[in-house]
Amino acid sequence: METEKKKRTLFYSIVTVIYFIIAKLFFFIHFEGRENIPADKPIILMSNHVSLLDPLTLGICVRDREIHFMGKKELFENKFLGWCLTRLHAFPVDRGNSDIAAIRTSLNIIKAGDSLGIFPEGTRSKTGYMGPLLGGASLLALKSGCDVLPVYIDGPYRIFRPLRVIVGKTIEMQDLRVGRVNKETCDILTHRMEGVFAHLSGGKALAPGKTAEKQE
C-alpha cells in the first residue's frame, strides 16, 4: 500500500519546525532507529505516552509525512484548542467508551494513504511505567493492513536533560492477519507489543514486578 506524496500544510509545518527547535535547544532531543521507518507507505506509529508533547515529538520523528492523531474528546471542547488540534491532524476519541467512530476514522485515514499516531495506553502515564495496552489498539493494527512501528519516548521531558526517542522495527503480525481478527488474535498482538516496548526501553517501561511477555 504505497502513498502518494502529499503537499505539506502550512500550520502543521510551522508548529513542528518551532517545536523541533525548542526540543533541540531545551530537551537535547535525539532519535535512534529512524532507518526503521518504512518509506512511501502509510504506517501506524504506536508510542508510550508520558506528556502532552508526545504527538509533536512523533511529528518531528517522522520527517517525510504528516501524522494524524487521536486526541481525547475533552480537548476539542475548547474552540481555540480544537481549531489548533484539527489543523495538526488530530481527531477526537471518546476514551470512556468503545469509540467505533474513531476506529472508522483511523481506518479511513490509512485508506487515504496517510499515517496515524496512537498511544495504546489510552492515557498519559504518571508513574514513568507503561500502563496496560488497550485492545482497541491491537484491533486497529490488525484491521489496518499496514505496518505498525513501535516508538519509545524515554522521558520525562526535563529542561536541559537529554530526551531519547527510540524507533523499533515494524511489529510482526502477518501470522495474525491470516485468519479472522478476534479477541484471541488481539490479545496475542497486545502481549507482543508489550514485549516490544519492554525491549525498546531496556525494561524501563515495565512496572516493578512485571515481566515482559515473549513475542510470538
Amino acid identity at 184: E
Cell of 19: 517545536
105-131 residues labelled b (16+ CB within 10 A) or e (exposed)? bbbebbeebbbbbbbbbbeebeeeebb
Query: By three-state DSSP, how is residue 216 classified?
Result: coil
CB atoms under 10 Å from CB of 50, counted, come to 23
What pairs with residue 44 in β-bridges?
116, 148
Q: Any idea where the domains of the chain sit in the sequence?
A: 32-200
Q: What is the pLDDT of residues 177-203, one digit of tens each?
A: 998 999 999 999 999 999 999 999 999
What CATH number is given for 32-200 in this structure? 3.40.1130.10
DSSP annotation of 109 reads: H
Q: What is the pLDDT of residues 44-98, one digit of tens each?
A: 999 999 999 999 999 999 989 999 999 888 999 999 999 999 999 999 988 766 6
Q: What is the pLDDT of residues 151-169, one digit of tens each?
A: 999 988 999 999 999 999 9
Mean pLDDT of 203-216: 64
Q: Supply the pLDDT for residue 214.
A: 45
Mean pLDDT of 1-8: 63
